[in-house]
């Protein structure tokens, strides 16, 4: 099992397959690198080197009692890219992973980065504030923490069964295998990491991070995202970026890399080859 040890002693599990241009995947909350299986196999077959890690407290990485914030997430990613000595990498982040990618590039620079992709990503800021009136009220995230604390296993069945993949929409055909795989990944991780992570992904303001990024960034988002609402995320991020391109998917849910993998993979491939 491949791991690196960060300066604070945290072991970060990662996968590293293939050769060629490196594509680095950052997963969403509360999942693991396994959530990228479809993308990693696809891009491996297209001749890319594919890399994905389990965020601290998630998957097979150390269940640390603290450090569940965007600074540590970005620093852990930087430690991984330095360990692998990546050059000209394309960073792809889904949901919380999109915040991780943005904060990594802003905090550590783009010397190792060629491009980035934000998919259903949390930037610029999810929580409602005076400066972000279109955000979600803090009570929404307080409720998520309460459900996690009360019965994490039930909570981790309900979320993928409903809004995460849009399986609660009329005419949707829920996939028990997808739901079970989401639950499996979530339950592998630490309840403490996931509890704290809700604050990290909802209250971190990425506005200045986005403004500082000059590499090309593709922002991909479904307009039926029930987890990270479209209007207060993707269009604002694309506008803040120096070289951002917005691609909107009509009717696609938050978990579109899984449910609409063929479409997402094809568009990612076009961007990587452009």
Q: Find how far residue 50's CA is from the centre of its chain.
A: 16
Task: Kindly name the residue from 26, 33, 95, 120 that is annotated as catalytic.
Answer: 95
The yes-or-no answer on residue 95 being catalytic is yes
241 CB-contact burial (10 Å; exposed 0-12 / middle 13-18 / buried 19+): buried
Task: Kindly name the residue from 75, 196, 225, 232 that is annotated as catalytic.
Answer: 225
The yes-or-no answer on residue 153 being catalytic is no
The yes-or-no answer on residue 130 being catalytic is no
- 197 in Cβ contact with 57 (< 8 Å): yes
Catalytic residue positions, numbered:
95, 225, 254
């Amino acid at each position: 099992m491949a791991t690196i040890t960060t300066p604070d002693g945290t072991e970060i599990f990662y996968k590293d397959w293939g050769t060629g241009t490196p594509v680095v995947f950052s997963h969403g909350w509360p999942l693991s690198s396994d959530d990228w299986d479809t993308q990693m196999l696809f891009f491996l077959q297209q001749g890319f080197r594919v890399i994905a890690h389990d965020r601290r407290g998630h998957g097979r990485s150390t269940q640390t009692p603290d450090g569940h914030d965007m600074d540590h997430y970005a620093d852990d990613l930087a430690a991984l890219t330095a360990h692998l000595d990546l050059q000209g990498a394309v960073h792809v982040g889904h949901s919380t992973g999109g915040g991780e990618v943005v904060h990594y590039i802003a905090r550590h620079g783009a010397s190792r980065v060629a491009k980035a992709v934000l998919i259903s990503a949390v930037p610029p800021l999810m929580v409602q504030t005076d400066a972000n009136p279109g955000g979600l009220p803090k009570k929404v995230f307080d409720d998520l923490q309460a459900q996690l604390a009360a019965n994490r296993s039930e909570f981790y069945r309900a979320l993928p069964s409903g809004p995460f993949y849009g399986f609660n929409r009329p005419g949707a055909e829920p996939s028990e295998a997808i739901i079970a795989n989401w639950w499996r990944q979530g339950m592998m991780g630490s309840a403490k990491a996931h509890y704290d992570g809700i604050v990290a992904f909802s209250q971190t303001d990425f506005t200045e991070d986005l403004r500082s990024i000059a590499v090309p960034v593709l922002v991909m988002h479904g307009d039926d995202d029930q987890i990270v609402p479209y209007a207060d995320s993707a269009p604002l991020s694309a506008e803040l970026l120096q070289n951002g391109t917005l691609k909107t998917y009509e009717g696609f849910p938050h978990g579109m890399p899984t449910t609409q993998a063929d479409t997402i993979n094809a568009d990612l491939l076009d961007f990587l080859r452009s």
